[in-house]
Amino acid sequence: MTDDILHQHRIRCHDLTITFSDEMYNEALIAIEDLCIVIANLPLSNFGMNSPNRTASDLMNTEMNRELQYSTVEMAAIVARNVPLMNEEQRTIYDRIMLAVSAGQGGFFFLDAPGGTGKTFVISLILAEIRSNNASHWPLHHRAQQLYWMEVEQLIQYLSCH
């Protein structure tokens, strides 16, 4: 990977005498860490490797770009296909949250129910609906994504304790 980065630098600078530098190795680590974040949602340090030198804003921009790489048409199709599958309670929750989103209202919504009752299903459809509208409500979209991961983390903690 660093060979490719070196080659790119040589071509870009029109200088075939450029040699490897710490910045190139760091660039390779950033690319590897970006893949780890996409695949496992974990930085390189969780895999026993050195973390690249990057600012917190770089990491956030990478995460934001990853989150924004989806097809709005595909998201709309997911919503159209799955909303009719909701039960009455799920649909009520979905409609209330989407009404608040479309009206630009703030607020908190708590989905507290036993496992297997469709909380993740509802949250996923809310995210898909927001994404299908070009993520015009990015802060809510980001918070909903965080809630989804908090639910996953709680499940993992529960399973590791039993």
- Whether the per-residue pLDDT at 91 is higher than 90: the answer is yes
7-23 confidence digits (pLDDT tens): 888 887 788 888 988 88
Tell me: do 147 and 105 sit in the same domain.
Answer: yes
Total domains in the fold of the chain: 2
> In which domain, by residue range, is 50 found?
2-67
pTM (whole model) above 0.75: no
Of the residues 46, 67, 88, the one at which a domain ends: 67
**Burial (0-12, 13-18, 19+ Cβ within 10 Å), 103:** exposed
Tell me: do 156 and 81 sit in the same domain.
Answer: yes
Tell me: do 30 and 86 sit in the same domain.
Answer: no
**Burial (0-12, 13-18, 19+ Cβ within 10 Å), 153:** exposed
Tell me: do 80 and 157 sit in the same domain.
Answer: yes
Tell me: do 120 and 46 sit in the same domain.
Answer: no
